[in-house]
Structure 1
Amino acid sequence: MSQLQDDFGRKFHYLRMSVTDVCNFKCSYCLPDGYRPDGKPKFLDLNEIENLVSAFAKVGTRKVRITGGEPSLRKDFTDIIRIVAANSDIHTLATTTNGYRLEQSAQEWYDAGLRRINVSVDSLDPRMFYQITGENKFDKVMRGIDAALEAGFERVKVNAVLLKGLNDKDLPRFLHWIKNTPIDLRFIELMETGLGRDYFQAHHLAGADIRTGLLNDGWQRDASGAEDGPAQNFSHPDYQGRIGLIMPYEQNFCASCNRLRVSAKGKLHLCLFTESGVDLRDLLQSPQQQGELIERLQQQLHHKKATHFLHQGVTGVTQHLASIGG
């Protein structure tokens, strides 16, 4: 069966699958007022998740990232890991977490089949961490990262959203940390969403400024790998860790797009920003619906646009990134 491909020749082997939009942090750039449920949400169950992953695997998906919200808030999170890991066509299984449950669960998740993990740490200053996240959990999260390294994860990444006037002075601290720690540190440029225009204008910091500083300090751009997508990665001979930059306002950022997203309620999102999603849930109830599900996926890719249009000031319909997993 042919791989998922859009009208611009981009092939999609990476699924970002949200399993909940609930989060227990109140990050200023995402959920400043905390999670506010809209009624009683019914997120994809284990059977629906298994059918979803199976269909995507049949059309070339080789990497799945379990996202949220905070995915580990689901009581069956370890079961979700086992289900995805059991699919032999999925070669890479990852998750993104705020690290709240990582310290006590890292080994359990690894044993269930999880191999890569991204932890959101927007500052290495505990006071600034609290200011950005609304939670005084810095030490707990850092112990969780240590637990992930000890558990044997093949790759541990730390995500930090660049925020002018908040964590932009943290770069030396981050660099000192990764000098002797095998962490992949990723700086993510702040993106404007439907709820955050004032915040964006106050705190947006161009990743290109960070890139210039890194190059001046002897960091070298790594060759792009098949799984890198739009990230620009940098290495330095004196550092164990690496740095990645995700700069969505760069020209041609979308040319290397390799991912599709499915929300916790079963909607396919071709892009973080440009559309409101296409419901897949009616075709996730039985393995016998797989052919029809794959046909819907292939049809929808004809509607994927060449770019997200962020550079033109378009923020789309996404109100906050927690709703579809970032």
Structure 2
Amino acid sequence: MSLSRSPLTDRFGRSIEYLRLSVTDRCDMKCTYCLPKSFKGYQEPADWLTFDEIERVVGAFARLGTSRVRLTGGEPLLRRHLPQLASRISALPGIRDLSLSTNGTQLPKYAESLRAAGVTRLNISLDSLTRECVTQITGRDTLDDVMAGLDAAQAAGFDPIKLNMVVMPGVNDHEVESMTEFCINRGFILRMIETMPMGSTGLASGFTPLGPILDKLRDRFDLIPEIKEMGGGPARYWRTRDGRGQIGLITPISQHFCATCNRVRLSVDGTLYLCLGQEEKVELRPLLRAGISDSDLEQVIREGIELKPERHEFREAPTKIIRFMSQTGG
């Protein structure tokens, strides 16, 4: 087995230390910015990477220097026995940070087992605090389920817990202050996200620049820039001067962060996507099922990273990416 530990660096000098790993493209919601209500084009389970295949790929990334893994979907907790996979990944040499993105509905069942399996951080999607708006966005009334999930996550000892809010014009942009106050009072970190034009749903959801929203929140909550690292992702953080609360902004449209992008995405069918906003990809599943060796798998990953583009073109070519977010992995 190869013991290579050299850094995985792309042709623009960016160190790829973060793998976002989709374990399913299924979800128990159909959020307006993610999937059409009528969508049926899910991957067949036979085409999903098995846990053994996932462990091989993550192990190869870890040997190449990637240390952060985030489990995503779809809704990752719809994948059967996910805590077992989490335990296998967290035990891999070189993996020092295992996190999970979820809509929260399944956390009452799985929060404790995820914590025991080595998941250390959670990002939970919650775009509104009003039942009507949640139902409008997700396609069903899930507010009570998500709130129960938040309670379960805190009871299991997860800290920090980040709440992801996709801010959409005319839908929930008027709620950012109430959401900020809710998060401060509950001890959550709020992360506001600009809608990305992925597929017809992302385009239709519209785009709200977060800069003006930050200006309002800065005055209302006396925010100052946060200087400590808050994870390996692209958010820029502020905190209240009294230290009670923190908010993060993810601004892929108004202020892109491509120059410091440190991540790639592996979809449930084994497709390695090098950029959310471009088409470069590497198909790993056929190679895994043909019996590729560990050293050759590492070489394929290295060569794939060389394809990573310099930046996305969400502003210049907003209709370019027709695949939906859940097909890529969140």
Scaled by the length of structure 2, what TM-score is found?
0.92
Which one of 6, 19, 22 corresponds to residue 23 of structure 2?
19
Q: CA RMSD in A?
A: 2.0
Equivalent in 82, 86, 95 of residue 81 of structure 1? 86
Kindly provide the amino acid, as one letter, of the partner of residue 324 in structure 1.
T
1:30-45 alignment runs, 5 A limit: 30-33=34-37, 35-38=39-42, 40-41=44-45, 42-45=47-50
Instruction: Determine whether 1:91 maps to 2:96.
Output: yes
Identity %: 37
Matched with 2:214 is 211
Count of aligned pairs between the two proteins: 324
Please tell me whether residue 48 in structure 1 is matched to residue 85 in structure 2: no
Unpaired stretches in structure 1, ≥5 consecutive residues: none
TM-score if structure 1 supplies the norm length? 0.93
Letter in 2 for 1:295: Q
Shift of the alpha carbon at 1:112? Answer: 1.5
Aligned-partner residue type, residue 290 of structure 1: D
> Mind listing any 5+ residue stretches in structure 2 that lack a counterpart?
none
Amino acid at match of 1:230: P
Going from structure 1 to structure 2, the CA distance change for 1:241 and 1:258 (only over 3 Å counts) comes to: same
2:268 to 264, 269, 275: 264
Aligned counterpart, 2:193: 188
> Which of 264, 281, 285 lines up with 1:281 in the alignment?
285
The answer (yes or no) to whether the contact 1:192–1:315 under 8 Å persists in 2 is yes
* Aligned-partner Cα distance in 2 for 1:69–1:197: 15
CA distance in 1, matches of 2:202, 2:152: 37
Measure how far apart 1:126 and its partner are: 1.4
Per the alignment, do residues 81 and 287 of structure 1 end up closer, same or farther by CA in structure 2, a change over 3 Å counting? farther
Once structures 1 and 2 are overlaid, which stretch shifts more, 128-137 or 277-286?
A: 277-286
Deviation at 1:252, TM superposition (A): 4.8
In the alignment, is residue 105 of structure 1 matched against residue 118 of structure 2? no
Matches within 5 A, 1:211-250: 211-217=214-220, 218-223=222-227, 225=229, 227-238=231-242, 240-250=244-254
CA 1:280/1:133 → structure 2, altered by over 3 Å: closer, same or farther? same
The 1-side partners of 2:269 and 2:298 are apart by 18
| Residues 38 and 281 of structure 1, relative CA distance in 2, 3 Å threshold | same
Quote the residue 2:328 is aligned against.
324
Quote the residue 1:156 is aligned against.
161
1:129-149 per-residue CA deviation (whole Å, 9 max, x = no partner) reads 111101211011111111101
Q: Is the 8 A contact 2:43 2:269 kept in 1?
A: no
Residue 166 (structure 1) aligns with: 171
For 1:179 and 1:45, how far apart are their aligned partners in 2? 40
Give the CA deviation at 1:187: 0.5
Structure 1 residues 221 and 275 mapped into 2: Cα distance closer, same or farther (>3 Å)?
Answer: same
Of 44-53 and 293-302, deviating more is 293-302
Output the CA distance in 1 between the equivalents of 2:42 and 2:68: 30
Contact 2:203 2:319 in 1 (8 A): no
Give the match's secondary structure for 1:170.
helix
Shift of 1:284: 3.0
- Deviations 1:24-64 (CA, angstroms, capped at 9, x unpaired): 10111111315513563421111101101100100111110
The amino acid of 2:258's aligned partner reads C
Q: Secondary structure at the match of 1:100?
A: coil
